[in-house]
Structure 1
């Protein structure tokens, strides 16, 4: 074997090793980001810190690795061809044999070896992976710079706002770890991911059905009267209270009533005998913790209590799931817009509309920040300090608010009139 043949053989081996290392880099870099605080070695902590800074340059790192893979793949195939060429006089045979060897060996170098590395201690590969990246970044800088610029131009041309701009930096990193790319997501999926990341930051207060809207039955209600009330409510689970809604003592399941009537058609039943225990949670409990508790207790409805022990609201498992997937409608739900425009500056609003949503729909930001409410109805009750009467009207900043429909003590419809002040802040 002459010197040229030896050089080509070395080139082939080096290019195959380079491809293996390039395929390993991404996994090692993600490991460094994930385990940074757990690394005990000062050297590894130092290298991991360098990698963390590199992770902020996603497009540049991706361009460098992509170009290097293309380069070393071409070198590997060409060197394989020139190794085989002296052994096979026919060029077609040489090309076919080169193709066969590449099909077998390239996947081993670019897939099998990185997979083995990912299943072992990745810390030992952190230093070589980092320095190898630095070397290829310097060697291929002119070419990767062109790739980097072209990627930016294409991104701007396509209107891409960035790499998961709707999420925080930490949330972007978690999605990178999971291999989820922005291009593969539609708006609904993006919103769902955003909801998932905000899930453990949301409290029960923000999603509960407020006390004023709770429909229940008194524990001593006669069976026939209870069935009539339950039929009107259209719910499968009904809170049971004594004296008033502040003293909820249990939950009545419609299926339990049906099961009793089916098995004991001639025997009377009572709410007290069929109701199940009620579970109570504090108003500031976080949804992630609540969901875990409800799963453990196999409970589908909980009673939310305020700091004084009174009933603040209700939360169901459906309410929790809606925080992730959005509104869930069943056959009993009447779909209607939470805000309807009936004049140039006049609107009919659902009292349950969230104030953030209201501001967005009105294109007007008013100061309503208060941890005691987050809906329009909550604002009304808080500002008036009592249960309003129908046609009660009051002014709140630029809004003139009128209660246009009541059902006993519950607000059903509110009319809003935007005053002149709104035009000054519209579109902020």
Structure 2
């Protein structure tokens, strides 16, 4: 090297700095690749992605070859720079070379290439695999020795290397990933994905039709009343009970309605003959579990009961699907008879409406950890059942009780905005 001219040494120094930039950018690019996108591209037979995936299967070997190359060229560059500086400035050139080379490597071989690689990892990492893969094969004995010593030191420090680098996402991490997807996932699809993640936080008690609103067939009613009820029912499945809703005998599907309205339908016993056994659901069952249970049992409707076996309400497959995809209409007035819009500011609410439904349809933020219905939420705040209509501010929302009946609040007039 002493026989080389200063010009040749400068060219060599430039090449070494370029090599250092290559190793630095390769390290950052490979380590910042999106593992899920990389896996997807590899499955699509993207050759560069497949090469990168193979290299990342053993990150210790990949880092080993990159650092060996990077340190080699940096040390060699330091030696070359020192020789050049001594030839130009004499003994004072050592300090000058150290200062200048540190600045040059920091800017041109570290910060700049690593920043570019962090911004465009695929553009840097994929072409780099064409060089890193052969280098790893060529220098495998040296890499193996370095990794052996390094892994031995890691074990002495009692660090479990196998637990590092897991690609498994927690539920909250997946939620953050969906949130940050931005425009890459349509807003509606993004909301559906988030709703699926929320299913385990919601129980059937939160979305059920309350007991008081269940429309069923009471076998103690007159036969003519039952026939008329069948003719006018807006539901395809009706619970069949006797005397009290707690005494449910089955679920009737109205696909059999035709035979009920002919001369063949002569007694109530036929209702039970064509009814399916009722399917009961514990009230604390989460929606994700119940969705699987509906599929397993091949059911679309279930009776929600408490720990004492008393009927609390009724839950359907459609109710759970609406938690995922939203209501099947965007018109609030048509979506729920429990909510009636007067104008842009005022809305009449059925107090039996669930807090979750009110929050979803009106964009409110009433607490959902306590009472499930608006009636329960108001009574909890008042701590008594009012004798007359009253006004109150509940969690920042102005409410006016309009009707009280049978020891329960029936309707409430509210301002839509806080």
After TM superposition, the score normalised by the length of structure 2 is: 0.55
- C-alpha deviation, 1:233, in angstroms: 3.1
1:110 maps to which of 41, 45, 48: 48
SS in 1 for 2:244: coil
SS in 1 for 2:390: strand
2:402 counterpart residue number = 403
CA contact (8 A) 2:207 2:354 kept: no
- C-alpha deviation, 1:223, in angstroms: 4.8
Question: 2:270 aligned with 1:274, yes or no?
Answer: no
Question: 2:173 aligned with 1:169, yes or no?
Answer: yes
Distance 1:405 1:136 in 2: 81
Inter-CA distance 352–26: structure 2 relative to 1 (3 Å threshold): farther
1:141 counterpart residue number = 111
Distance 1:334 1:144 in 2: 56
Q: CA RMSD in A?
A: 5.0
SS in 1 for 2:341: strand
After TM superposition, the score normalised by the length of structure 1 is: 0.54
- C-alpha deviation, 1:245, in angstroms: 1.6
SS in 2 for 1:235: coil
2:59 counterpart residue number = 126
1:393 counterpart residue number = 389
Greater C-alpha Rg: 2
Distance 1:411 1:232 in 2: 28
User: How big is each residue's C-alpha offset from its partner over 1:200-232, in whole Å with a ceiling of 9 and x where there is no partner?
Assistant: 221111111111111111134455422311333
Question: 2:195 aligned with 1:189, yes or no?
Answer: no
Distance 2:251 2:286 in 1: 22
Distance 1:336 1:277 in 2: 29
Distance 2:232 2:210 in 1: 19
2:413 counterpart residue number = 415
Distance 1:283 1:295 in 2: 18
CA contact (8 A) 1:351 1:412 kept: yes
1:73 counterpart residue number = none
User: How big is each residue's C-alpha offset from its partner over 1:389-409, in whole Å with a ceiling of 9 and x where there is no partner?
Assistant: 9xx513444544323498x99
Distance 1:206 1:111 in 2: 46
1:28-177 residue pairs with structure 2 within 5 A?
A: 109-113=47-51, 117=54, 123=57, 125-130=58-63, 139-145=109-115, 168-172=172-176
2:310 counterpart residue number = 310
Inter-CA distance 242–108: structure 2 relative to 1 (3 Å threshold): closer
Distance 1:311 1:395 in 2: 32
2:341 counterpart residue number = 340
2:371 counterpart residue number = 372
Matched pairs, number:
297
Inter-CA distance 276–378: structure 2 relative to 1 (3 Å threshold): farther
Distance 1:288 1:192 in 2: 14
CA contact (8 A) 1:220 1:271 kept: no
Gaps of 5+ in 1: 1-7, 31-57, 63-106, 152-166
Distance 1:223 1:361 in 2: 39
Gaps of 5+ in 2: 1-14, 39-44, 71-105, 122-170
CA contact (8 A) 1:279 1:301 kept: yes
User: How big is each residue's C-alpha offset from its partner over 1:134-180, in whole Å with a ceiling of 9 and x where there is no partner?
Assistant: 799994531443676899xxxxxxxxxxxxxxx9434345x69xxx9
Distance 2:322 2:340 in 1: 20
